[in-house]
Amino acid sequence: SRQNIGVIGLAVMGKNLALNIADHGYTVSVFNRSGKRTQELLAECTTNNIEGYFSLEEFVQSLERPRKIILMVKAGSPVNDIIKQLKPCLTPGDIIIDGGNSYFADTINRSRKLEAEGFHYFGVGISGGEEGARRGPAIMPGGDVGAYESIGQILTDISAKAEGEPCCRYIGGDGAGHFVKMVHNGIEYADMQLICEAYSILKGVMHMSPSDLHEVFKEWNQGELNSYLIGITSDIFAKKDTDSDHYLVDMILDAAGQKGTGKWTGQVALELGIPIPTITGAVFERYLSSDKATRMEAGKLYGDCAKTKQRGADFVEPVRKALYASKICAYAQGFSLMLEASRQYGWKLNLSGIAKIFRGGCIIRAQFLNKIADAYSDDSELKNLLMDNYFKTVIENYTQAWRDVVATAVTSGISVPGFSSALAYFDSYRTETLPMNLLQAQRDYFGAHTYQRIDKEGTYHTQW
């Protein structure tokens, strides 16, 4: 009998996903460009549910129809290469599923082409890294809703479960799944940056050691900040270096890497006209950090040009509040971006459902996603999370502490692009009268761009 599903690409993600699918009782055929990875997987696995193939044609022939083939290859041209090689072996109705981190616009193009040729194409965001792929990732499938019936059960079975619910649900047409995964990663950038700023402040103004910080984050993880990222941060602060008598975190070079999904989120936000300053700020801060040599030079040039404020133990709680309030703004930005993309691309995204998917398997999994899910299930047309009652109450209660923390950091010369951009986002968002009357006057002055008036209808131009 033929196999239920195929996986192409057996690096970290594909291999673990194949094992996960096999664990759930499905039979899986696997193929990799270089046979070595296939041999390794076959040698390593103990299940009878996996069959390895060394020819793409035989691999395709081994699958039941409609064929379901998951690609877990590097994003970009490898996906095009594989599709090109696969097509002659396929039959109309077969389903190609790209589970990698492809750019959503590429997915839209591939999807249109293949659907026109009679095939089905899914762009599926899969989050959770190696461990997620093996034990249950968050899964965001985008593609033809009819074809989803053939793959939905398998994807749901292998996904993470949060509070008993699968972290997988149909997201929308063509690029929707990859778009949502991209925004997930953008939010992840912001979330990580905000945690790093909390660390920077606590270290800077309270001289906390890694073991103090371990305790602080451990406690924070018991409350409303409870999340995977806060949990691993607490673990990280407890880890001693094996090559020195320091904590490992103190021995790690402060130059951040990235793979580009944060950058894409920023680019798309600029195109769609949605402000996400805390997310883009996090991307920029990684860029800034990566040139350590120049920062060292500038550090010598400017020396100590700010006087560090000293704060006592009662400053931990304001920092926690500032972190939570900033985090709310970062998520508000990411969800606003999805709302606008949903409108412009016609995806009809269910933002409550998406918040629920993020609760398990993925990097930003957190308690507070339940609050976001509630906000959008109470009002699916909600313009911004800041307009929701629960979040309004938190921000109102925390805003004084938040301002105090940002002011302390700024006075002390501690860079807090995340905390401060989130606060500025909130302040701009809630300000009825921004100084853009002046900006409109400037535009009209030098470019005759015209302006509108507050007291009467029409478009005006002045000879300044």
Choosing from 41, 83, 126, 216, the residue that interacts with ligand NBP (CB under 6 A) is 126
Q: What would the two tokens of residue 246 be?
A: 């320091």
Cβ proximity to ligand NBP: between 18 and 75 the closer is 75
Q: Is 101 annotated as a binding residue?
A: yes
Q: Is 111 annotated as a binding residue?
A: no
Q: Is 128 annotated as a binding residue?
A: yes
Q: Which stretch binds ligand NBP (CB under 6 A): 127-135, 190-198, 214-222, 399-407?
A: 127-135
- Told to check if 166 binds ligand NBP by CB under 6 A, we report no
- Told to check if 13 binds ligand NBP by CB under 6 A, we report yes
Q: At its nearest, how many Å lie between ligand NBP and the CB of residue 63?
A: 18
The whole-angstrom separation of Cα 6 and Cα 57 is: 12
Q: Is 32 annotated as a binding residue?
A: yes
Q: Is 13 annotated as a binding residue?
A: yes
The whole-angstrom separation of Cα 86 and Cα 90 is: 6
Instruction: Provide the 10 A C-beta neighbour count for residue 251.
Output: 12
Q: At its nearest, how many Å lie between ligand NBP and the CB of residue 362?
A: 9
Residues within window 23-62 making contact with ligand NBP, judged by CB under 6 A: 32-34, 37
Pairing label, strands 28-31, 50-53:
parallel
Residues within window 93-112 making contact with ligand NBP, judged by CB under 6 A: 100-101
Cβ proximity to ligand NBP: between 12 and 145 the closer is 12
Cβ proximity to ligand NBP: between 169 and 178 the closer is 178
Cβ proximity to ligand NBP: between 32 and 408 the closer is 32
- Total residues in contact with ligand NBP, by rule CB under 6 A: 23
The whole-angstrom separation of Cα 43 and Cα 41 is: 5
Provide CB contacts within 8 A for 110, sequence distance 6+.
79, 80, 83, 98, 121, 123
Running DSSP on this structure, what letter comes out for residue 368?
A: T
CB 194 within 8 A of CB 327: yes
- Beta strands (DSSP E) in 82-206 are 95-98, 120-127, 138-142, 161-162, 165-166
- Told to check if 392 binds ligand NBP by CB under 6 A, we report no
Cβ proximity to ligand NBP: between 38 and 412 the closer is 38
The whole-angstrom separation of Cα 358 and Cα 382 is: 19
Helix, strand, or coil here: 227? strand
Q: Which stretch binds ligand NBP (CB under 6 A): 10-18, 60-68, 308-316, 353-361?
A: 10-18
CB 417 within 8 A of CB 329: no
Q: At its nearest, how many Å lie between ligand NBP and the CB of residue 315?
A: 36
Give exposure, 83-121, as e/b (b: 16+ Cβ within 10 Å).
Answer: beebeebbeeebbbbbbbbbbbbbbbebbeebbeeebbb
Choosing from 21, 30, 73, 124, the residue that interacts with ligand NBP (CB under 6 A) is 73
- Told to check if 184 binds ligand NBP by CB under 6 A, we report no
- Could you tell me which residues are beta bridge partners of residue 29? 6, 51
- Told to check if 269 binds ligand NBP by CB under 6 A, we report no
- Told to check if 82 binds ligand NBP by CB under 6 A, we report yes
181 in catalytic set: yes
Q: What would the two tokens of residue 254 be?
A: 């402060």
Residue nearest to ligand NBP (CB): 100
Give, in degrees to the nearest 5, the angle at Cα 36 between 35 and 41.
100
Q: At its nearest, how many Å lie between ligand NBP and the CB of residue 15?
A: 7
Q: Is 22 annotated as a binding residue?
A: no
Q: Is 73 annotated as a binding residue?
A: yes
The whole-angstrom separation of Cα 435 and Cα 439 is: 7
Catalytic residue among 15, 188, 263, 371: 188
Tell me the residue type at 61: Q
CA neighbor of 416 nearest in space, from 281, 257, 251, 240: 281
Choosing from 81, 149, 235, 317, the residue that interacts with ligand NBP (CB under 6 A) is 81
Q: Is 127 annotated as a binding residue?
A: yes
Q: Is 385 annotated as a binding residue?
A: no
- Told to check if 275 binds ligand NBP by CB under 6 A, we report no
Q: At its nearest, how many Å lie between ligand NBP and the CB of residue 11?
A: 3
Q: At its nearest, how many Å lie between ligand NBP and the CB of residue 205?
A: 35
Q: Is 9 annotated as a binding residue?
A: yes
The whole-angstrom separation of Cα 29 and Cα 49 is: 8
Choosing from 3, 5, 6, 14, the residue that interacts with ligand NBP (CB under 6 A) is 14
Helix, strand, or coil here: 123? strand
The whole-angstrom separation of Cα 312 and Cα 108 is: 53
Give, in degrees to the nearest 5, the angle at Cα 110 between 108 and 114.
120
Running DSSP on this structure, what letter comes out for residue 172?
A: B
Cβ proximity to ligand NBP: between 196 and 362 the closer is 362
The whole-angstrom separation of Cα 24 and Cα 161 is: 14
Residues involved in catalysis: 181, 188
Binding residues for substrate: 101, 127-129, 184-185, 189, 259, 286, 443, 449
Interface with ligand NBP by CB under 6 A: which residues?
9-14, 32-34, 37, 72-75, 78, 81-82, 100-101, 126-127, 129-130
Binding residues: 9-14, 32-34, 73-75, 101, 127-129, 184-185, 189, 259, 286, 443, 449
Binding residues for NADP(+): 9-14, 32-34, 73-75, 101
